[in-house]
Amino acid sequence: MKGSTHRIIRLAAESTRFTCLCMALGIALTSIAGCKATPAPAPAPSATTKPVVATFKVDPATAGSVSGTILYKGKKPAAKLVDMSEDPACVQAHSGKAYDESLVVGSKGTLGNAFIYVKSGLEGKTFAIPTTPVTIDQGGCWFRPRVLGIQTNQTLQVTNSDPVTHNIHPMAQINREWNHSQGPGDAPLNRKFQKQEIMVKVKCNIHSWMHAYIGVVDSPYFAVSKDDGSFEIPNLPPGTYTLAVWQENLGTQQQQITIAPHTRTATDFTFKGN
């Protein structure tokens, strides 16, 4: 009986040691699992950089030009007087009578303020953006110049030379429309147009007679005809192009032209009046 008792006690002790060993082993395995290496976070994606687009450079040894005259056929329209009497400060600032400039016909039937530009033939070419801004001034309660051209993303600088407040409001259809007042002595406004648009009409919300037009082109190949109807677009690479002309009252025309290496191509446009 006594031997049986010792055997029972021994078995119990061995069972206890086995239980303790199992518990210790479980704790160790749990510890090992808890120490498992945490995966490193995935690296942040690198910022995507815009590809550099090579700008087209004209070879001066082969570049040509196109020039000509914008003509008006028909009876010369009578000059229309612009009434500025609603703002006496404008009457004084304009220094004389103001006449409508929507149709500027010279004594020899020439047409000023027409916008001429290369409409097609330059596809696939990207041109450097000029660093010099194009300026439109509000002087004598008038936009000066009335018609101007600018390259896409080139700076348009708006100034006010008058002693009165003006408001410049380009009513763009393709680009973003904006509207900004500018008082006497205010700093110039600087804006840009991102896309080609022929033409952007500009008005002053304060003075209803003030209008201008901006031709936004994605190349440097454009011009505005002078009072004598003349224009020139220089530094054109040789090729065949569609040359277009716009006039605010008479609409648009276009012609196909070919520029041979290092030559001056002449072409005229004629608009018919009433």
Q: Could you state, in order of their start, the residue ranges of all structural domains in the chain?
A: 1-34, 64-272
Contacts of 118 (CB under 8 A, 6+ apart): 217, 219, 221, 222, 233, 236, 241, 242, 243, 244
Residue with tokens 């677009």, as numbered in its chain: 233
Reply yes or no on whether the pLDDT at 214 is more than 90: yes
> What mean pLDDT value characterizes the chain?
87
pLDDT of residue 18: 43
Q: Which of 79, 71, 80, 78 is nearest to 108 (CA)?
A: 71
Reply yes or no on whether the pLDDT at 2 is more than 60: no
Over residues 70-76, the mean pLDDT reads 94
In 208-263, at which residue ranges do the beta strands (DSSP E only) sit? 211-217, 222-224, 230-236, 239-247, 251-259
Over residues 61-73, the mean pLDDT reads 97
pLDDT of residue 273: 85
Q: How far apart are the first and last CA of the chain?
A: 140
CA distance 102 to 201: 12
Reply yes or no on whether the pLDDT at 4 is more than 90: no
pLDDT of residue 222: 98
In this structure, are residues 148 and 224 in contact, taking their beta carbons and an 8 Å threshold? yes
pLDDT tens readout for residues 117-149: 999 999 999 999 999 999 999 999 999 999 999
pLDDT of residue 28: 41
pLDDT tens readout for residues 158-167: 999 999 999 9
In this structure, are residues 158 and 188 in contact, taking their beta carbons and an 8 Å threshold? yes
| Least confident residue range of 14-28, 126-140, 167-181 | 14-28
Reply yes or no on whether the pLDDT at 206 is more than 80: yes
Between 88 and 33, where is the model more confident? 88
In this prediction, residue 49 has a pLDDT band, given cuts at 50, 70 and 90, of: low
Over residues 82-102, the mean pLDDT reads 92
CA dihedral (27, 30, 36, 38) in degrees, to 10, reads -120
Angle made by CA atoms 122, 126, 201, in degrees to the nearest 5 = 75
Between 175 and 273, where is the model more confident? 175
Determine the length of the chain: 274
The domain 64-272 belongs to what CATH superfamily?
Cupredoxins -  blue copper proteins (2.60.40.420)
Whether the model clears a pTM of 0.95, i.e. scores above it, the answer is no
Over residues 194-202, the mean pLDDT reads 98
pLDDT of residue 274: 73
Reply yes or no on whether the pLDDT at 78 is more than 80: yes
CA distance 82 to 170: 21
In this structure, are residues 191 and 202 in contact, taking their beta carbons and an 8 Å threshold? no
CA distance 241 to 267: 12
Task: Cis check for the bond before 88: say yes or no (omega within 30 of 0).
Answer: no
